[in-house]
Homo-oligomer: A and B are copies of this chain.
Amino acid sequence: MSDVITMAHGSGGSATGELIDEIFAPAFSNETLLAMEDSAVVDGSKKIAMTTDSFVVTPLIFNGGDIGRLCVCGTVNDLLMRGAVPKYITCGFILEEGLETDTLKKCVASLAETAKEAGVCVVAGDTKVVEGHGGLYINTAGVGLFPDGDKDISALNSADGDAIIVSGTMGDHHATIMAHRLEIDTDIKSDNAPLTEMTSRLLASGIPIHTMRDITRGGLGTVLKELAQSSNTVFYINEEMIPIAPSVREFARLTGIDPVYMGNEGKMVITVPGEFADKALEIIRGSRYGENAAAIGEVKKDENRTGKLIMRTKLGGERSLDILRGEGLPRIC
CA distance A217 to B330 in the complex (A): 33
- Closest chain B residue to A12, Cβ basis: B217
Apart from A11-B217, A40-B49, A52-B139, 19 more pairs, CB < 8 Å: A6-B327, A11-B328, A11-B330, A12-B328, A14-B326, A36-B155, A37-B155, A38-B51, A38-B81, A44-B45, A50-B90, A50-B124, A50-B143, A51-B124, A52-B91, A56-B94, A126-B139, A128-B331, A141-B141
In the assembled complex, 6 residue pairs joining A and B whose CB atoms fall closer than 8 Å, in A order, are A36-B155, A37-B155, A41-B146, A43-B48, A53-B126, A124-B141
- Closest chain B residue to A57, Cβ basis: B128
Establish whether residues A47 and B51, one from each chain, have CB atoms under 8 Å apart when the complex forms. no
Residues on A lying within 8 angstroms of B by beta carbon are: 6-8, 10-17, 35-56, 77-79, 81-82, 84, 88, 90-94, 123-126, 128-131, 137, 139, 141-146, 150, 154-156, 212-214, 216-218, 222, 226, 230, 261, 263, 322-328, 330-331
**Which B residues are CB-close (under 8 A) to A323?**
13-14, 17
Establish whether residues A52 and B90, one from each chain, have CB atoms under 8 Å apart when the complex forms. yes
- Closest chain B residue to A226, Cβ basis: B36
Establish whether residues B53 and A42, one from each chain, have CB atoms under 8 Å apart when the complex forms. no
Q: Write the nearest CB–CB distance from A323 to chain B, whole angstroms.
A: 5
CA distance A216 to B13 in the complex (A): 11
Q: Write the nearest CB–CB distance from A83 to chain B, whole angstroms.
A: 9
CA distance A45 to B43 in the complex (A): 8
Establish whether residues A13 and B130, one from each chain, have CB atoms under 8 Å apart when the complex forms. no
Within the oligomer, what is the number of copies of this chain? 2
- Closest chain B residue to A84, Cβ basis: B39
Establish whether residues A327 and B42, one from each chain, have CB atoms under 8 Å apart when the complex forms. no
CA distance A81 to B39 in the complex (A): 8
**Which B residues are CB-close (under 8 A) to A82?**
37-39, 41
Q: Which one, B92, B94, B129, B325, contacts A141 given CB within 8 A?
A: B92
- Closest chain B residue to A329, Cβ basis: B11
CA distance A176 to B12 in the complex (A): 18
Q: Which one, B17, B38, B90, B94, contacts A94 given CB within 8 A?
A: B94
**Which B residues are CB-close (under 8 A) to A124?**
50-52, 141
Establish whether residues A47 and B53, one from each chain, have CB atoms under 8 Å apart when the complex forms. no
**Which B residues are CB-close (under 8 A) to A93?**
54
Q: Write the nearest CB–CB distance from A251 to chain B, whole angstroms.
A: 19
What are the 3 closest A-B residue pairs judged by CB atoms, nearest first?
A12-B217, A13-B324, A141-B141
Establish whether residues B44 and A47, one from each chain, have CB atoms under 8 Å apart when the complex forms. yes
**Which B residues are CB-close (under 8 A) to A128?**
54-56, 137, 331
Q: Write the nearest CB–CB distance from A91 to chain B, whole angstroms.
A: 7
**Which B residues are CB-close (under 8 A) to A131?**
330
- Closest chain B residue to A212, Cβ basis: B38
Q: Which one, B46, B81, B88, B217, contacts A50 given CB within 8 A?
A: B88
